[in-house]
Amino acid sequence: MHQLRGRTYSGGGPEVELPRGDVTEGVVRVGDTVRRPHQPQSWAVAEYLDHLESVGFEGSPRFLGLDEQGRDVLTFLPGEVAGDPVPDWAMQDALLASLGGFVRRLHEASAGFVPTEPFPPQSVEQDPFELVAHLDITPQNTVVRDGAVVGVVDFDLASPSTRLIDSLNTAMHWVPLRHPDDLRHDVDQLARLRVFADAYGWTAEERAGLAEFAARRADLSYRRMKLRGETLGGGWARMWSEGVGDVIARRAAWLRAQSAAIGKALV
């Protein structure tokens, strides 16, 4: 991958600060490009983005190279991105259905890609490797135009994983799957989960075991977040101190309590 690592990009202009993520800071827009701090996973992500470009997938940024400051340079995807808190327009069922189809197309484009650049190992427990997945398709990382999902950005957490893990993680953020006490919108969670499941195309077997699988993933997420908060500092420590662990624990308990209702809604 010497050609990838030697790729540079020249071009400057006024810098416009983009909304800060939970962890990554210093992301700016310069014209029709985005500049991001170079990170340990940057080369692996760049190779993945190159693959998506090579198969004609248009819903991800293109990696252009490193600028004079050593920052990753990516193409800017125009559109509307939900802020935090999530606005009402981002909670429409039609948009959720569009998202399910988009994630399915992303996975189809990712299938068959075998990275040569190493992704950093996942903390606590490595996911099985079916394909490279985004793993952080939140409303704040999703680009919308004319009421439909057209792109996803911020591939910082991309890693080898599975279709079900990535699609479930997406549903967790967007349905959202969490204890009702932690909801910010008045939504029918089970009905919205069915909208996403149908749009993505979860199998009957996946639907039947989804509640317990999701609860186990929440248990793992708790352990990962705790470790990151205690060892990595920065945004991870801030989120842990603000109580993200409690939110995750309540999610796991709610999923197990609602197992029968979730199964009935999906099957």
Domain boundaries, the chain: 2-75
Q: List helix spans (H) across the chain.
A: 2-5, 42-54, 93-110, 163-174, 189-200, 204-208, 210-231, 234-241, 244-257, 259-266
Domain range 2-75, CATH architecture:
2-Layer Sandwich (3.30)
Whether 93 has a pLDDT exceeding 90, the answer reads: yes
Q: How far apart are CA 22 and CA 34, in angstroms?
A: 17
Reported as a pLDDT band with limits 50, 70 and 90, residue 1 is very low
User: Which residues have C-beta within 8 Å of that of residue 221, sequence separation ≥ 6?
Assistant: 248
DSSP 183: -
Q: What is the pLDDT of residues 215-260, one digit of tens each?
A: 999 999 999 999 999 998 988 899 999 999 999 999 999 999 999 9
Q: What is the mean pLDDT of residues 30-37?
A: 96
SS (H, E, C) 206-235: HHHCHHHHHHHHHHHHHHHHHHHHHHCCHH
Q: What percent of the chain has pLDDT over 90?
A: 91
Reported as a pLDDT band with limits 50, 70 and 90, residue 23 is low
DSSP 80: B
pTM for this predicted structure: 0.94
Q: What is the pLDDT of residues 121-157, one digit of tens each?
A: 998 999 999 999 999 999 999 999 999 999 999 999 9
What pLDDT does residue 2 have?
52
* Structural element, H or E, at residue 144: strand 142-145
User: Which residues have C-beta within 8 Å of that of residue 160, sequence separation ≥ 6?
Assistant: 115, 119, 126, 127, 129, 130, 131, 132, 133
